């Protein structure tokens, strides 16, 4: 064997190994390049809009069915393109340095960060159990087993307590809501009148049990707090029960939302107590008058619970709320 043949035999495996490495490296580079390309949905004057941006916007959209997701993505991408074009023009016009724009960006940033923290606070909350769901269903028959859809006539207004006492006496003798409205207006009370169809879950929870007990044609005055009152007349109603299996997912979500609100109220109370907050200038006197010191821990707890308390179940089953217009009393509707 010659020296050349000997060197050739020794170099061949090395060359072959280098060739394999080169092929694999080139292949990986092509795959990574192809993968990187697929992450770009569009380019607008050189600025890239990524698939992640489209998917994020889609995730923020509500009630997008899987069969229309592709069309929704295209519509979202078109909106992002328009947004990008407008953004580029704004920067070219130096609007990004405008005091109002800078302030708006900072406000949006603060809101996003605050929301992210509160989402973190509620992220690991325990979901309601089957027993808790069943218990809520049983204790709130007016929302489920004995649920009704009401046709209501309403007057909403603010007045002093002494007028409210006098009004209660008028309700028993009044022949119509228009007569009650005229009486209130004669005493300088501004009212908002409406008629509409309301399902049980669209009615404030503190009012619903009393409304459930009313008969057709009956009128009642409700104190909704803060000097605000509501006169309600039941025009008609129909039974529209919801079974436990149908109600369970909504109840669980409702209870989880309530739990989240309570956790947020408690957390905000905690970090406020730990923080050093100083009202300055014109806000110093306003803050002291608006936020009197809480006399006891019990008062503070009651206040926090009231803030966290849900006002209505808010889930619709087969109908959406159909509020009447506050422009007088239109023709009487019937429940669907």
Convert the pLDDT of each residue in 122-152 to its tens digit. 999 999 999 999 999 999 999 999 999 999 9
- pLDDT at 232 > cutoff 70: yes
Yes or no: say if 151 and 332 are a contact pair by the CB < 8 Å rule.
Answer: yes
The pLDDT-based confidence of 322 (bands split at 50, 70, 90) is: very low
Task: Give the C-alpha separation, 49 to 168, whole Å.
Answer: 63
For 154-178, b/e burial (b = at least 16 CB within 10 A) is: bbbbebeeeeeeebeeeeeebeebe
CA dihedral 223, 225, 229, 234 (to 10 degrees): -50
Of the listed ranges 25-39, 78-92, 214-228, 256-270, the least confidently predicted one is 25-39
Tokens 């459930």 identify what position? 212
* Token pair belonging to 336: 């669907």
Q: What is the pLDDT of residue 314?
A: 58
User: Tokens standing for 305?
Assistant: 């619970």
198 in Cβ contact with 118 (< 8 Å): no
User: What one-character-per-residue DSSP string does 92-144 give?
Assistant: HTTGGGSHHHHHHHHHHHHHHHHHHHHHHHHTTPPPPPHHHHHHHHHH-TTTT
pLDDT at 222 over 50: yes
The whole-number pLDDT of residue 122 equals 95
Write out pLDDT tens, residues 24-70: 444 444 444 444 456 999 999 999 999 999 999 998 887 788 889 89
**pLDDT score recorded for residue 159:** 86
pTM of the model: 0.65
Residue 129, CB-side half-sphere exposure with 13 Å CA sphere? 3
> What's the whole-number average pLDDT of the chain?
81
In angstroms, the CA 195 to CA 232 distance is: 10
Please write the tens of the pLDDT for every residue from 271-283.
Answer: 999 999 999 988 8
- State yes or no: pLDDT of 267 exceeds 80: yes
Mean pLDDT value of segment 258-284: 93
Mean pLDDT of 147-170: 89
User: The tokens of 192 are what?
Assistant: 């908002």
Stretch among 178-187, 311-320, 323-332 having the lowest mean pLDDT: 323-332
Q: What is each CA distance from 130 to 126, 216, 245, in whole angstroms?
A: 12, 36, 11
Top pLDDT among 8 and 54 is at 54
Instruction: Report d(CA 247, CA 145) in Å as an integer.
Output: 10
Confidence band of 2 (pLDDT split at 50, 70, 90): very low
The proportion of the chain whose per-residue pLDDT surpasses 70, expressed as a percent, equals 74
- CB 300, CB 273: distance < 8 Å: no
Query: Would you state the structure tokens that stand for residue 206, as one six-digit string?
Result: 């503190």
Asked if 101 and 93 count as a contact pair (C-beta separation under 8 A), the reply is: no
């Amino acid at each position: 064997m010659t020296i050349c043949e000997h060197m050739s035999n020794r170099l061949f495996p090395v060359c072959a190994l280098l060739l394999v490495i080169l092929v694999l490296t080139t292949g990986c580079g092509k795959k990574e390049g192809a993968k990187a390309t697929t992450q770009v949905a569009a380019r607008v004057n050189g600025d890239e809009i990524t698939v992640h941006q489209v998917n994020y916007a889609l995730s923020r959209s509500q009630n997008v069915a899987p069969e229309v997701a592709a069309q929704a993505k295209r519509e979202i991408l078109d909106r992002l393109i328009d947004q990008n074009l407008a953004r580029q023009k704004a920067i070219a016009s130096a609007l990004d340095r405008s005091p109002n724009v800078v302030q708006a960006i900072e406000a949006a940033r603060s809101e996003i960060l605050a929301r992210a923290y509160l989402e973190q606070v509620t992220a690991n909350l325990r979901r309601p159990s089957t027993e808790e769901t069943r218990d809520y269903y049983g204790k709130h028959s007016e929302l489920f087993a004995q649920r009704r859809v009401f046709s209501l006539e309403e007057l909403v207004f603010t007045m002093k307590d002494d007028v409210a006492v006098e009004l209660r006496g008028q309700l028993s003798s009044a022949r119509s809501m228009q007569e009650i409205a005229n009486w209130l207006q004669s005493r300088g009370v501004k009212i908002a009148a409406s008629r509409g169809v309301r399902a049980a879950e669209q009615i404030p929870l503190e009012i619903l049990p009393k409304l459930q007990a009313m008969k057709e044609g009956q009128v009642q005055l409700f104190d909704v707090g803060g000097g605000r009152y509501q006169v309600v007349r039941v025009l008609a109603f129909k039974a529209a029960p919801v079974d436990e299996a149908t109600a369970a997912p909504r109840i669980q979500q409702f209870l989880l939302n309530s739990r989240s609100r309570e956790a947020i109220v408690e957390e905000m109370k905690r970090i406020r107590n730990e923080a050093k907050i100083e009202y300055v200038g014109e806000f110093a006197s306003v803050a002291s008058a608006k936020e009197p010191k809480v006399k006891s821990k019990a008062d503070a707890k009651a206040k926090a619970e009231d803030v966290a308390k849900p006002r209505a179940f808010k889930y619709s089953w087969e109908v959406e709320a159909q509020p009447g217009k506050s422009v007088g009393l239109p023709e009487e509707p019937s429940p669907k």
